[in-house]
Amino acid sequence: MDIFNDHKKLFTASVVLFSILMIFVAIFPAIENQTNNAPLPDSKPLTDDEMAGKLVYISEGCVGCHSQQVRNVDMDKTWGSRPNIAADYAGITRTSFLQNTATLMGTERTGPDLTNIGVRQPSLDWHLLHLFNPRAVVQQSIMPAHPWLFDFKEKPNDGDIIVNVPAEFLQGKTGKVVASERVLQLVTYLQSLKQVKLPDGTPDPEFLYKKEKKAAEGGAGEAEGLDGAALYAANCQSCHQQNGEGLKGAFPPLKGSKIVLDENPEIMLSIIMQGYNAREEYGVMPAVGTNNKLTPEEITAIMNHERTSWGNTGRKVTTDEIKKLMETLKKPAQ
Amino acid sequence: MKKHIFNKTKWSIAALLLLSINSVFAQSSTSSALFESHDIGLFLLVLLVLLPIAGFFIYTSLSIKKKSTQLIQQKFSSQGIKAEKYLTDLDLEQVRALLGKKNNETHSLKSSGLLTVILLFVSQFSFGQSDVQPATRESLMTQPGVLITLVLLFIPLLVGFILLVTKLNAMLTKMRTKNLMQEAETLAEMLDNGEVMQDYTELERREKALSYNLNNDELAGKEAPSDEKGLLKNVKSEHDMNFFAQKTKPMPRPKIDPNLTKLILAFIGSAIFWLVLGTSIGEYVGIKFIAPDADSLSWLSFGRLRPVHTNLVFWGWASLGMLGLGYYVVPMVGNGPLASLKMGWYSLFFINLSHVLGTISLMAGVNNGGGEYREYIWPIMSLFAAGLVLSMINYLKTIALRKTKEIYISNWYITSSVIFLPIIAVVSYLPFWQNGIGETILQGFYMHQAVGLWFMFFCLGLLYYFLPQQLNKPIFSYSLGVLAFWTQILFYTLIGTHHFVFSSLPWWLQTVAIVGSVGMLIPVTSGTINFLMTFKGSWNKVSNSYSLPFFVVGVIYYFTGSFQGTAEAFRSTNLIWHFTDFTIAHSHITMYGIITFIIFAGIYAIVPRLTGQEPPQLMVGAHFWFALIGLQFYTIPLMIGGTFKGLSWAEGKPFIDSVVLMAPYWLWRAIGGSMMWISHLILAYNFYKMMFPKKEFDVKEEAFKILQQKTNFSQN
């Protein structure tokens, strides 16, 4: 055949085949998606500070380990309340003259997904300490420390945000650890990462491959099927630590805590569900229960774990009790 | 001739098509019934395991059938032995033995009834076996747990069956030998009695003819040989100690232009430099998984160094290495000169410049914003693209200058890939279709086309040149190469989105990518068949060569790595493996096991021919084994750990658990990575040895030099 012996025909043919396919699977779907998707009505564009924070996120290569996509499979429920849809990314355009659009969806999850981190972990204090050295808050973490985003000052100025770093993580340096502007912007960006509600009447897309429900769960009132320690690890441990002792100057201990050991679980429940910011010496507690959509059964399991671990000898609570209390908590809010 | 080749390959292609069509259908049924999780990937793997087993069954039952028919035939014919058929073609001793015999007597044979019983048993078994097959296949489609249990139950049964078949086989052979022995005895007796032989004159004549001998002096005469041409005495008789098997030296090639040699060596030298640098960084980044606080400098942080590693090994090492080998292969297969040396040097300069600037900018925290292998910002990437375009024009012009009529298949692959990559890079960097998930769609396209239509395509072109050259025989089938060429373009272009299965990208696009991934089985299988069939009959050459072992590893990984890629693309397997370290193991199996090993092989194949210097053989062996064993230590633990990680996520365990459980696997990865890294240092050393050999002091040579000087002096 002629095509075998004529380089012009041969290479034209292969390029034409390739280009047609390329238009079909890359260019055409990309153009179609960018023209037919608009940002959700409730979404807000990034503020200048948040945008600056996003640039830090890009510059430090966070996307290498952290994805920003909740897939529509059941195991991704941990990372957001609904699967991401194309509209979630529709507002993202070219970053700068030199830099391409950054949806930062990622292809690896060496670290947790950050789609909804602004809801899951809104605490500034936690993020600053975690960025200074992740092992200060999560002992087993392998995330790189980012000390270059902080300054060491002997005499901090007024308005400087001081991070209370445990001495072992200071690596012999002296002075107060002060958060730089860049790290504050980065945390602002992280706090802005929240899943936006779909407009009224639009149902959330479903999570696929649901786990089969365990048949015959434990008796009524007792959440025997749930592992309180695992739930504690997933929801509370990053601040209050595995040993329940918290971190001095950042997160209060639960071990021996009056609130935890209280016969009446009402205050403890309200803190879990609504957050807490009453004590100067500690960081702000987010409304973990509400943010993470914990069920009464899960909360019971967590509370019982906290009330009976690390030498705590509190009374075990029942699911029924918690359910009732949760209803009374909701009433004044409405 | 072509028709013949097609006939040869027709069946393998048909089987392939069947397999892939089957899988495509299976896949599409999964996507329509989203909530069912048919484990297609697992199914495919099990099928792959079962196929050779079924092949073994068919083979053994055929051989048993053959043996039993032989027995039956023997049984029937043994009543009347045709002694004449044994009495042709006798040698001298047999003739003499016959001539010494005179007497007559007759004997008959007996046979056992046991035979029929065994035959019945055998046929029973071959039926029983065909009953087992469909039953197993049906249960494959149920739950993976059931399936695994079935396979586990099946293994001892299988072993038992194989034992039985082997015993039976041995028994049949023994019986057949016994029967033949009886026949031989009868024949001997018949001959002894002189019952067959009537005329001995013919035999006597035969004896004379057979016992005739030359006296060996007819041509040479009786004088002792003299060595006037110095053929015998000038042989070097001293050898080095042979601790290791001696490899054959490459055959001398027609001298190529020394200027082209310089260009090729510069490409390969740069490639090796980026390999050593890129993998040193990779090694350090791998260590950070075990010791995250190894340093606290922003320029050396994991987030910034990871893209430096990937870009240097992709665009630095592999790309320059391939281009350098291409500068040898492209003119060579066209029998013509290279179009422009200058263009080649500019190409090398631009690409090297892009990596110097790219590495600095990435470490300084200036990157393009996320996409893997797309981290260089566009001004730096355009330097790289400019270098590529120069080489592309150069290759095309070289092909236009070729002296052969046809374009050899290597140049199809090599030149197409070097045309595709600039198109891919430009399309993926242009800003017009990058808003929102447009960026992600192009990211999937970009990263995968770069792998499949650049690295893989180019390396296949290199294989089509180097395998025939190293084995000194033509490629098995040109047509299979052509088939693989077009199907690879057709299917590979589609599969980019399989990195974003279950994401917000359009569902249909994900499905297209999965179907394309299954389609890739066609070019991969035809390519593998082609390469292995080219090796067939020449496997002995592998142990004598130091580049062929690298090629063998490349071809084997081409098959396994690509099939693994297909298995990973399914939705069911994405549930376990996506986002985990399994992906990293896969990318190292392909980019290292296939691409890097082929480039290693190419370097050892041509550099000794270009410089005329062999690398130290022991060090080539060290390079090979460190790289290969290191790769196993790297990939296997990551695959195991990645699977556990995925399962831990699926069970809904806290995320930090999956980090903790990976620790031992990351340690093994660092160990394997260190071995691979050491092998690269050895490669750099070997390359240095091939470029600048150390001159041994030769007493004889020096003595004659001095003598020469003295005579010159006395003449003056």
Q: Which amino acid is at B251?
A: M
Place of tokens 């098959």: B559
Separation of alpha carbons B562 and B594, rounded Å: 9
Shortest Cα distance, chain A CAs vs residue B317, angstroms: 21
**ipTM confidence score:** 0.86
List CB contacts (< 8 A) between B374 and chain A: 100
Cα(A232)–Cα(A241) distance, integer angstroms: 9
- Show the CA angle centred on residue A326, arms to residues A324 and A329, nearest 5°: 115
- The count of other CB atoms within 10 Å of the CB of residue A6 is 14
B369 touches chain A (CB under 8 A): yes
B42/B19 Cα distance (integer angstroms): 14
User: Following CA atoms B603, B605, B608, B610 in sequence, which dihedral angle do they give, to the nearest 10 degrees?
Assistant: -80
List for chain B the helix, strand, coil content (%; round to 5): 75, 0, 25
Q: Does B416 touch chain A (CB under 8 A)?
A: yes
DSSP 3-state of A145: coil
Residue B415 with chain A: CB contacts under 8 Å: 7, 11
Confidence of residue B713 (pLDDT cuts 50, 70, 90): confident
Mean pLDDT of B539-559: 91
Task: Count the helices and strands in chain B (H runs, E runs).
Answer: 26, 0
Cβ contact, residue pair B416, A11, below 8 Å: yes
Q: What residue type is B645 in one-letter code?
A: K
Q: Is the pLDDT of residue B572 over 60?
A: yes
Select from A119, A120, A84 the least CA-distant residue to A103.
Answer: A84
**Residue B652 in contact with partner chain A when CB distance is under 8 A:** yes
User: What would the pLDDT profile of B498-521 be if each residue is shown by its tens digit?
Assistant: 999 999 999 999 999 999 999 999
- B713 close to A (CB below 8 A): no
For B294, the closest chain A residue by CA position comes to A144
Contact B656 A140 (CB under 8 A): yes
Q: Name the range with the highest mean pLDDT among A42-46, B214-218, B236-240, B253-257.
A: A42-46
Give the nearest partner residue to A26 out of B37, B436, B441, using CB atoms.
B441
* H or E segment and range at residue A176: strand A176-179
Structure-token pair, residue B397:
């012009």
Res B72: pLDDT: 65
Nearest to B169 by CA among B21, B59, B264, B285: B59
How close, in Å, is residue B166 to chain A by CA atoms? Answer: 46
Compare B672 and B700 and report the one with higher pLDDT. B672
Q: Which of residues 548-587 of B touch A (CB under 8 A)?
A: 575, 578-581, 583-584
Chain B residue numbers with beta carbons less than 8 Å from the beta carbon of A242 are: none
Convert the pLDDT of each residue in A174-212 to its tens digit: 889 999 999 999 999 999 999 998 888 888 888 888 876
Side-chain-facing half-sphere of B293: CA atoms under 13 Å: 14
Which residue would you say has higher pLDDT here, B89 or B600? B600
Q: How does residue B242 score in pLDDT terms, banded at 50, 70 and 90?
A: low
Report pLDDT for A310.
87
A164 pLDDT more than 70? yes
Give the residue from A4, A7, A146 with the most B CB atoms within 10 Å of its CB, the best one to mutate. A7
Nearest to B410 by CA among B469, B450, B451: B469
Mean pLDDT, all residues of chain B: 83
Contacts of A31 in chain B (CB under 8 A): 432-433, 438
Give the mean pLDDT of B362-372.
Answer: 91
* Contact indicator for B53, B158 with CB cutoff of 8 Å: yes
Between B433, B436, B579, which is nearest A27 by CB? B433
Q: Across the A/B interface, how many CB contacts are shorter than 8 Å? A: 259
- For residue B138, pLDDT over 60 is answered with no
Smallest CA-to-CA distance from A241 within A156, A155, A130, A323 is with A130
Q: What mean pLDDT do residues A112-126 have?
A: 90
pLDDT at B58: 82
Cβ of A4 within 8 Å of Cβ of B579? The answer is no
Q: Model confidence over A20-71: pLDDT tens digits?
A: 999 999 999 999 999 999 999 889 999 999 999 999 999 999 999 999 999 9
Cross-chain residue pair B407–A10, CB shorter than 8 Å:
yes
What is the pLDDT confidence band of residue A257, given thresholds at 50, 70 and 90?
confident
User: Left if phi > 0, otherwise alpha if psi is -120 to 50, otherwise beta: which for B340?
Assistant: beta
More confident residue, B682 or B106: B682
* Residue B83, pLDDT score: 67
**Which of B304, B420, B581 is the closest to A61 by Cβ?**
B304
CA nearest to B652, candidates A125, A261, A227 = A227
> Which of B303, B370, B494 faces A102 most closely, judged by CB atoms?
B370
Burial class, B625, CB count within 10 angstroms (exposed 0-12 / middle 13-18 / buried 19+): middle
- Give strand pairing partners of A251: A247
Q: Are the C-beta atoms of B403 and A129 separated by less than 8 Å?
A: no
Question: Using a CB-CB distance cutoff of 8 angstroms, which residues of chain B are in contact with residue A116?
Answer: none
What's the gap in Å between the CA of B315 and the closest CA on chain A? 18
pLDDT tens profile B304-359 = 999 999 999 999 999 999 999 999 999 999 999 999 999 999 999 999 999 999 99
**Chain B from 306 to 365: CB within 8 A of any A CB:** 306-307, 365
Asked if B489 and A14 come within 8 Å (Cβ–Cβ), the reply is yes
Question: Which stretches of B78-113 are DSSP H helices?
Answer: 83-86, 92-99
Shortest CA gap A106–chain B (Å): 7
What's the whole-number mean pLDDT along residues A153-166?
Answer: 89
- Strand-pair category, A162-163 with A150-153: unpaired
Give the containing element (helix H, strand E) for A153. Answer: strand A150-153
Quick check: B304 contacting A, CB < 8 Å?
A: yes
Whether residue B550 has pLDDT greater than 90: yes
- Nearest chain B residue to A59 by CA distance is B365
pLDDT of residue B233: 67
Structure confidence at residue B525 as a pLDDT band (50, 70, 90): very high
User: What is the sign, positive or negative, of the torsion defined by CA atoms of A222, A228, A234, A237?
Assistant: positive
User: Which of A74-78, A308-312, B240-244, B653-657 shows the lowest mean pLDDT across its residues?
Assistant: B240-244
Instruction: Residue B34: name the closest of B364, B511, B431 by CA.
Output: B511
Give B400's contacts in chain A (Cβ within 8 Å): 7
**pLDDT tens digits along B17-62:** 444 444 444 443 333 333 344 456 666 767 777 777 788 778 877 8
Q: Do B509 and A93 make contact, defined as CB atoms within 8 angstroms?
A: no
Strands (DSSP E) found in B145-195? none
Minimal Cβ distance to B435: which of A18, A93, A105: A93
Residue B611 pLDDT level (bands cut at 50, 70, 90): confident
Asked if the Cβ–Cβ distance from B442 to A62 is below 8 Å, we say no
What is the nearest CA distance from A60 to chain B, expressed in angstroms?
5
Which one, of B427, B278, B577, B226, lies nearest residue A30 by Cα? B427
In three-state form (DSSP H/G/I as H, E/B as E, the rest C), the secondary structure along A45-70 is CCCHHHHHHHHHHHHCCHHHCCCCCC
Instruction: Write the single-letter amino acid at B257.
Output: D
Strand A176-179, strand A150-153: pairing: antiparallel
Chain B residue numbers touching A54 (CB-CB < 8 A): none
Name which of A22, A108, A142 is nearest B292 (Cβ-Cβ): A142
Nearest-angstrom CA–CA distance, B222 and B202? 36
Q: What percentage of chain A carries pLDDT values higher than 90?
A: 43
pLDDT value, residue B191: 78
Q: Which residues in chain B touch residue A83, judged by CB atoms under 8 angstroms apart? A: 504
How close A320 gets to chain B, by Cα (Å)? 25
b/e string for A118-140 if b means 16 or more Cβ within 10 A? bbbbbbbbbbbbbbbbbbbbbee
Question: Looking at per-residue confidence, does B313 or B9 come out higher?
Answer: B313
Q: With contacts defined as CB-CB under 8 Å, which chain B residues touch A64?
A: 302-303, 306-307
When scoring B288, B424, B435 by the number of chain A Cβ atoms within 10 A, the one with the most, hence best to mutate, is: B435
The count of residues in chain B is 716
Six token digits for residue A113: 């997904």
Residue B485 contacts by C-beta under 8 Å, 6 or more apart in sequence?
Answer: A14, B409, B412, B413, B416, B523
B524 alpha carbon, distance to own chain's centre = 11
Residues 396-415 (B) with a CB less than 8 A from some CB of A: 396, 399-400, 405-407, 412, 415
A147 contacts in B (CB within 8 Å)?
296
**B304, two tokens:** 């910034």
High-pLDDT (> 90) share of chain B, % = 53
Please calculate the CA angle B659-B514-B463 and round it to the nearest 5 degrees.
90
Given A26, A140, A142, which is nearest B289 (Cβ)?
A: A142
Query: In terms of Cα–Cα distance, which of B453, B452, B461 is closest to B414?
Result: B461
The runs of H, that is alpha helices, within A101-209 are 117-120, 124-132, 181-192
For residue A276, list its beta bridge partners.
A285
pTM, two decimal places: 0.75
- Residue B164, amino acid: L
Task: Reduce the DSSP state of residue B707 to 3 states and report it.
Answer: helix
Confidence of residue B13 (pLDDT cuts 50, 70, 90): very low
Give the N- to C-terminal CA distance of chain A in Å, as an integer: 80
Distance (Å, whole) CA A190 – CA A182: 12
Which residue is associated with the tokens 């090994």?
Answer: B313
Residues of chain B with C-beta less than 8 angstroms from the C-beta of A71:
502-503, 578
Longest dimension (CA), chain B: 105
Residue B57: its pLDDT value, please? 77
DSSP state of B298: G
Output the DSSP codes for A298-316. HHHHHHHHHHHSTT--PPP
**A98·B379 Cβ contact <8 A:** yes
pLDDT of residue B130: 38
Q: Which residue has the higher pLDDT, B151 or A333?
A: B151
pLDDT band at B261 (very low <50, low <70, confident <90, very high): very high
pLDDT at B60: 76
* Range name among A213-227, B321-335, B569-583 with the lowest pLDDT average: A213-227
In chain B, residues with a C-beta closer than 8 Å to the C-beta of A112 are 655
CA angle, B648 as apex, A210 and B587 as ends, to 5°? 100
User: Is A163 in a helix, a strand, or coil?
Assistant: strand
CB contact at 8 A, B486 and B416:
no
pLDDT at A242 over 70: yes
Q: Which of B61-75, B329-343, B552-566 has the lowest mean pLDDT?
A: B61-75
* pLDDT of B290: 92
The confidence score (pLDDT) of residue B37 equals 44
For residue B340, what pLDDT is reported?
A: 95
Mean pLDDT of A129-134: 94
Report, as an integer, the average pLDDT of B157-163.
Answer: 81
* Choice between A275 and A70, residue whose per-residue pLDDT is larger: A70
Nearest to B582 by CA among B596, B601, B569, B600: B569
Task: Sheet with A150-153: list strands edge to edge.
Answer: A150-153, A176-179, A162-163
Contact B484, B530 (CB under 8 A): yes
Place of tokens 């005579």: B711
Contact A27 B423 (CB under 8 A): no
Chain mean pLDDT for chain A: 87
CA atoms within 13 Å, Cβ hemisphere of B663: 10
Q: Check pLDDT > 70 for residue B543.
A: yes
Rg (CA), chain B: 33
pLDDT band at residue B243 using 50, 70 and 90 as cut-offs: low
> Which residue of B37, B419, B494 is in closest CB contact with A15?
B419
Q: What separation, in Å, do the N-terminal and C-terminal C-alpha atoms of chain B show?
A: 70
Question: Under a CB-based contact definition with an 8 Å cutoff, are residues B198 and B89 in contact?
Answer: no
Asked if A17's CB is within 8 angstroms of B489's CB, the reply is: yes
Which residues in chain A are closer than 8 Å to B369, comparing Cβ atoms?
A: 58, 95, 99-102, 104
Is B434 within 8 Å of A112 when comparing Cβ atoms?
Answer: no
Which carries the bigger pLDDT value, residue A3 or residue B247?
A: A3
Query: What is the arithmetic mean of pLDDT over B651-677?
Result: 93
**CB atoms A89 and B437 under 8 Å:** yes
* Interface-testing mutation among B288, B579, B638, with chain A (most A C-beta atoms within 10 A): B579
User: What is the arithmetic mean of pLDDT over A231-259?
Assistant: 83
